[in-house]
Structure 1
Amino acid sequence: MARQKMTKQEKSWIMYDVGNSAFVLLSTALIPVYFSSIATGSVVVAWGYAETVASLVIALLMPILGSLADLRHMKKKFLVGCVGTGAVACCCLGLTVEALPFLIIYVIASIALNSSMVFYDALLVDATTDERYDEISSQGYAWGYIGSCVPFIACLGIVLGGSVVGIDMATGMKIAFAITAIWWVAFTVPVFRNVHQTHFKERAEHLFKDTFLGLGRTLKKIWRDKSLRYFMLAFFFYIDGVHTIIKLSTSYGTDLGIDSTQLVLALLVTQFVAFPSAIIYGRLGAKVGTKKMLLVGVFAYTCITLFGAFFLRSAVEFWILAIMVGLFQGGIQALSRSEFGKLVPKEHANEYFGFFDIFGKYAAVMGTFLVSSITALTGMSNLGVLSLAILFVVGFVLLSKVPDRA
């Protein structure tokens, strides 16, 4: 049977992944390296606490904003508001060379980015059909990985090679922040123009009262649904490890003394490996089952965590780790998003995805705080990384208990 061509709405939805991934890659690779040049003390500890604060704020806000965004015509308004705030904050990162103001601005940009992802994820139910969730969600992550490399390579050239034409690192980072913000905004335009909210709930007479009551009802529905309950609990644990590895990998490598250029180039390779891997993962999910492929991904991440804790000591091992992460990172995120989309009522998608994000962000609070605290107490960042293996094991056990749908 011939593979169905993507519609204009599906392509436009995917484009936002290309846009926001530019900032994700910059914040994963270059921003921690730049921060280490203006900060004192352990980069892992400071960066981990900053990510913890950002995740906590997002987790508190998203169910409420998500419920409001389920109203007619509201998803895209919230999305554009978050993108605008994030893009401005991204540009402002280049205006300070002091560690604390830089972290505060970064937290604002991170909150805006991750908030936008809740509204974007919920638009998946409007952009495509149930049977294509795995395929389109995976395509989003895949093109996000490869597309983000375009502005990132330009930023990399300016920051690392700018000295050839008289551009110092601080000036180079200002230009990099501006390039990333413009790219992010430009690739928001297609989803704003071409994806329309077809699933929504009607405005209630007492909007805010109904919003909070609705959140309580939704939480009860999630808990009573065995599939949703076990999936959300499993997601809470395994996505914790995934997000923590993404956020702290560069800082961890810096603490181990690995050259910053090697760190950045290795993470760039991760993007290229993740592009075909995410697409393949999505197709395998549709063929053999989303749950099975998620279990494979969680097991693989357990192995990756053990490798990082016990064997990562040099640039060569970091390159190996980057390739291993690239093989599974996009797949586990994409299939988690599509599996959840299949389980929730479409007219309340934003509200449910708000809780989806709460589980993900509170998990990120736990993961980054755990790694940062253990590193601060012991002085050994590898022990903090090792603790993530427990989270993957618990996630695997809970995910295996999710009932298979008939």
Structure 2
Amino acid sequence: MGKTKRAERSWVLYDMGTSAYSVVISTAIFPIYFRSVATNAGVNSADATAFFSYAVSIATFILAMLGPILGTIADYRGMKKKFFTFFTGIGIISTVGLLFVPDDNWLLLVSLYVLTSVGASGAGLFYNAFLVDVTKESRFNEVSSKGYAIGYIGSVIPFIVCIAIIMLASNGTIPISTGTASKISFLITAIWWLAFTIPMLKNVKQMHFVEREPKIITSSFRRLYGTFKEIKQYRTIVIFLIAYFFYIDGVGTIISLATTYGTSLGLDATGLLIALLAVQVVAAPFAILFGKLSNKFGAKKMIYVGIIIYTIVCIYGLFLDSLLDFWILAMMVATAQGGIQALSRSYYAQMVPKEKSNEFFGFFNIFGKFAAVLGPFLVGITTQITGHSSFGILSLVVLFILGFIVLMFVPDQEVKEQSENITIS
């Protein structure tokens, strides 16, 4: 039991590292820094929003295509940790690389951002799949929710440090530019991410696996093809993934474009960063709350709650025109953001055969990533057509509605039964 608890803690701690990347690079400081660099290079506000959206789409498309193939290979004994280490290394190294991009080269900057995103997302695929290795099924919801909660809490520390450096630079207290301060924040993020990866590398092991075969790449494609042939066995999983495709699209798009959206409306950058810091603090207890409530009401019902909250967020965003409105919107997001992601992960983990967890989380990844291609692209196109970011955010409502409807067709009582009855090929 001691090893199990150590593995759980190490798995949860990794979220502290990768969450720092999510808030500093994906959500808060880097998008503002990119907009500043792009604007200085003569790119107008609407185009900067669109270009950043396209970059998010490119990064997620790459991992969407690779996910099931890499996941199937990683199901072999000892391969999951190797893939996790490889992608984490790419993410951390390319995050450090952001420091060395010239201040006027927005194209190189956004290109390197794509590489950081590929590393973080690729590592996340295998990190999610490790859930079945670190704890028992009855604790999936609780441990998954703790991961998100600890991630939010842990990411607050480097985020505060980064914001403080940027604010001190902006008011002249320290003799550096805000651009240099932003680059320092990227370095802090990379170091923090690396530090909380170490326990994961030391203490988490692949407990469920497929024994290695000769020519593992050829064998992996054969197994992947076999899964497609047997797709009727996985009806519940397929329906859930379709629902997940729609609603997680909206969630991911709002997370990745939050500050870009706020700055496009002319809101103060410092105020936006403080609001996002508050989101991290508020989201932590709500992630735990979603996990606790799922034990009473079920994960599926709590996912419905998250979808409804996000739908309201998109509608309210149409009327956003002040920092107060952004704060209200941010607090609404905070109540649902961690919960809907954590319970989606644990709900799915209960469905899949554990020996093929990487392969199936590869599909989880491909549905989530292809969705994330559609969402930012939809926002970018709508923003350019209308000239208003608000209409781009509003367009995401249809995705939440579709996700809600399709999720209704996931049979509640079949999830556990199907997980027990699936034959491992």
TM-score, normalisation: structure 2? 0.92
1:250 to 259, 265, 269: 259
Q: Following TM superposition, by how much is the alpha carbon of 1:93 offset from its aligned partner in structure 2, in angstroms?
A: 0.6
Describe how 1:315-326 pairs up with structure 2 within 5 A. 315-326=323-334
Q: Which amino acid aligns with 1:317?
A: D
Q: For 1:251, what is the secondary structure of its paired residue?
A: helix
1:140 is the counterpart of 2:152: no
Which residue of structure 1 lines up, in the alignment, with residue 375 of structure 2?
A: 367
- How far apart are the structure 1 equivalents of 2:228 and 2:296? 31
Which residue of structure 2 lines up, in the alignment, with residue 131 of structure 1?
A: 138
What 5-or-longer segments of structure 2 have no aligned partner? 415-425
Which residue of structure 1 lines up, in the alignment, with residue 212 of structure 2?
A: 203
Q: For 2:28, what is the secondary structure of its paired residue?
A: helix
Q: For 2:327, what is the secondary structure of its paired residue?
A: helix
Q: Following TM superposition, by how much is the alpha carbon of 1:222 offset from its aligned partner in structure 2, in angstroms?
A: 4.5
Contact 1:305 1:388 in 2 (8 A): yes
Which residue of structure 1 lines up, in the alignment, with residue 356 of structure 2?
A: 348
- How far apart are the structure 1 equivalents of 2:231 and 2:329? 36
1:33 is the counterpart of 2:36: no
What 5-or-longer segments of structure 1 have no aligned partner? none
Contact 1:222 1:228 in 2 (8 A): no
Which residue of structure 1 lines up, in the alignment, with residue 74 of structure 2?
A: 69
- For residues 36-92 of structure 1, the C-alpha deviation after alignment (integer angstroms, 9 at most, x for no partner) is 111022221011000000010010111111111111111111111111111111011
Q: For 1:392, what is the secondary structure of its paired residue?
A: helix
- How far apart are the structure 2 equivalents of 1:58 and 1:194? 26
1:13 to 11, 19, 22: 11
- How far apart are the structure 2 equivalents of 1:55 and 1:222? 24
1:53 is the counterpart of 2:53: no
- How far apart are the structure 1 equivalents of 2:156 and 2:21? 11
- For residues 160-195 of structure 1, the C-alpha deviation after alignment (integer angstroms, 9 at most, x for no partner) is 213312121122122111111011011001111111
Aligned residue pairs: how many? 402
1:287 is the counterpart of 2:296: yes
- For residues 174-221 of structure 1, the C-alpha deviation after alignment (integer angstroms, 9 at most, x for no partner) is 211111101101100111111111100112223222211222222344
- For residues 300-332 of structure 1, the C-alpha deviation after alignment (integer angstroms, 9 at most, x for no partner) is 1111111112x2111000000000000000000
Q: 1:348 to 1:300 in 2, by over 3 A?
A: same
- For residues 97-125 of structure 1, the C-alpha deviation after alignment (integer angstroms, 9 at most, x for no partner) is 21000001100000000000000000000
- For residues 136-165 of structure 1, the C-alpha deviation after alignment (integer angstroms, 9 at most, x for no partner) is 000000000110011111111112213312
Describe how 1:4-403 pairs up with structure 2 within 5 A. 7-27=5-25, 28-39=27-38, 40-41=43-44, 42=46, 43-96=48-101, 97=103, 98-162=105-169, 163-309=172-318, 311-403=319-411
Q: Which amino acid aligns with 2:311?
A: T
Q: 1:5 to 1:199 in 2, by over 3 A?
A: closer
Q: Following TM superposition, by how much is the alpha carbon of 1:387 offset from its aligned partner in structure 2, in angstroms?
A: 1.0
Query: How much identity, in percent, do the aligned residues show?
Result: 48
Q: For 1:191, what is the secondary structure of its paired residue?
A: helix
Q: Which amino acid aligns with 1:345?
A: P
Q: 1:209 to 1:6 in 2, by over 3 A?
A: closer
Q: For 1:164, what is the secondary structure of its paired residue?
A: coil
Contact 1:94 1:170 in 2 (8 A): no
Q: Which amino acid aligns with 1:168?
A: S
Aligned alpha-carbon RMSD (Å): 1.5
- How far apart are the structure 1 equivalents of 2:400 and 2:315? 11
Q: Following TM superposition, by how much is the alpha carbon of 1:223 offset from its aligned partner in structure 2, in angstroms?
A: 5.0
Q: Which amino acid aligns with 1:140?
A: G
